[in-house]
Structure 1
Amino acid sequence: MLVPLTLIAFWPNPVDAPVQGQLADVLKFLHAHEVPAWVNYQFVEASANVILFVPVGVAAGLAYPTRHWWQIGVLGLLVSVGIELGQLFFLHSRFASLADIVTNTGGAVIGALLASLVLRWLQDRRLSATVL
């Protein structure tokens, strides 16, 4: 999980650069078929940032089941700040963004909440199995 995240975060050029034309075409097609205009490049990029960090939150939540969701969120925040600072200082064709930090942190929180739900479900299942 860390290898793909690192490759995406520190690739010298934006990872979506090779598909920007195709993405623009897909968005035009969707808009022509009544998909709302707010589903645009910024929405797709923000959604991708959230999705990118959901596995971070899930993995951290499962690895540290006694931690609260907000503690995993802080971990996601710190990782995201580190990535954005790395992009700011070392990658001249990449852009650091506060919006990326917010969406990445949100993805980590969503992942932590999903992990918490899975752990609670497994615990309830074990309890009901021991009662029977």
Structure 2
Amino acid sequence: MALALTAFWPAPVDAGLAPLIAEVTRHLPVVTHARVEFTRNIVLFVPIGLLLPRMMPRGLVLPVALVATVAVESTQALLLDARVPSVLGIVANVTGARVGLLAFEASRAWRSSRRGSESLAT
């Protein structure tokens, strides 16, 4: 739900943060609006990578994330005048899904290794 609201909100959801980001950039030049937006897009798709493997084969998670993000960016381009779709948005979103999928796989491996060590202890 949060993803849909963020993706299809008519105006950029971080528009009100522009003055704050500009102020932070003044003191920390590496924190630019583009970098904040890129990072936000990554974070936005991490839950996709965490949740989708519970519902479908892991091999489909990244293709589904790619199709979803291309659909979002295309919808923004066609229907939302105030939104600026970008290829970097697609890259960031798929990266976020991959980060989530890696976290899912690491968690699964950790749980599996714990089960294995518990059975050895008994």
Distance 2:118 2:55 in 1: 24
Match of 2:9 in 1: 11
After TM superposition, where is structure 1 displaced by more than 6 Å over at least 4 residues in a row?
Answer: none
Match of 1:102 in 2: 91
Q: Is the counterpart of residue 89 in structure 1 residue 78 in structure 2? A: yes
**Structure 1 position 30, deviation (Å):** 2.1
**Structure 1 position 129, deviation (Å):** 1.0
Letter in 1 for 2:111: L
Letter in 1 for 2:5: L
Partner of residue 58 from structure 2, selected from 67, 70, 74: 67
Q: Normalising by the residue count of structure 2, what TM-score does the alignment of the two structures yield? A: 0.91
CA contact (8 A) 2:73 2:90 kept: yes
Q: How many residues align?
A: 121
Structure 2 unpaired stretches of 5+: none
Match of 1:40 in 2: 32
Structure 1 unpaired stretches of 5+: 32-36
Distance 1:113 1:61 in 2: 11
Distance 1:96 1:42 in 2: 13
Q: Percent identity among equivalent residues?
A: 34
Q: 1:51-104 deviations in whole A, cap 9, x for unaligned?
A: 11111111113444x524xx3222211110111111111111112111100110
